[in-house]
């Protein structure tokens, strides 16, 4: 019984101490604080702590076209982290969101 309580306590501490990872990268002449508009969001699937990407990887051209100015935000959400912990790092999902400058969006 005491082992179960100890194991549960350890798992609780690990989950409470974990955080969500977010990295925002500006490409071209933009900064991370530039006014941008969300274009699309993509779920990335990978194996072995992200070393082996599955599918088409992290290609931005598919979402931002030929633009040289754009912002990407890569994020590991709580659910992504939970899946990573449950599979012991074998399956490691993440989410990438693509943004373009507000000036590129035309209003109709």
Residue pLDDT, tens place only, 4-13: 777 777 666 6
As a whole number of angstroms, the distance between CA 52 and CA 48 comes to 6
In a domain, 108, yes or no: no
Closest CA to 65 of 28, 94, 107: 28
| Paired tokens of 33 | 């604080």
In a domain, 84, yes or no: yes
Run of H or E including 44: strand 36-47
In a domain, 91, yes or no: yes
Tell me the residue range of the domain where 58 lies. 20-102
- pLDDT for res 15: 59
In a domain, 107, yes or no: no
Domain count, the chain: 1
CB 80 within 8 A of CB 22: no
* Angle (CA) 81 35 70, round 5°: 65
In a domain, 42, yes or no: yes
Query: For the segment 88-102, what is each residue's pLDDT rounded down to a tens digit?
Result: 888 988 888 899 888
């Amino acid at each position: 019984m005491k082992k179960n309580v100890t194991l549960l306590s350890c798992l609780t501490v690990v989950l409470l101490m974990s955080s969500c990872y977010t990295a925002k990268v500006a490409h071209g002449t933009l900064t991370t604080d530039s006014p941008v508009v969300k274009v699309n969001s993509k779920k990335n699937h990978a194996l072995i702590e992200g070393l082996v990407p599955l599918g088409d990887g992290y290609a931005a051209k598919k979402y931002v076209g030929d633009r040289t100015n754009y912002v990407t935000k890569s994020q590991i959400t709580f659910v992504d982290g939970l899946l990573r912990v449950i599979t012991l790092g074998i399956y490691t999902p993440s989410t990438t969101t693509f943004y373009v400058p507000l000036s590129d969006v035309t209003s109709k």
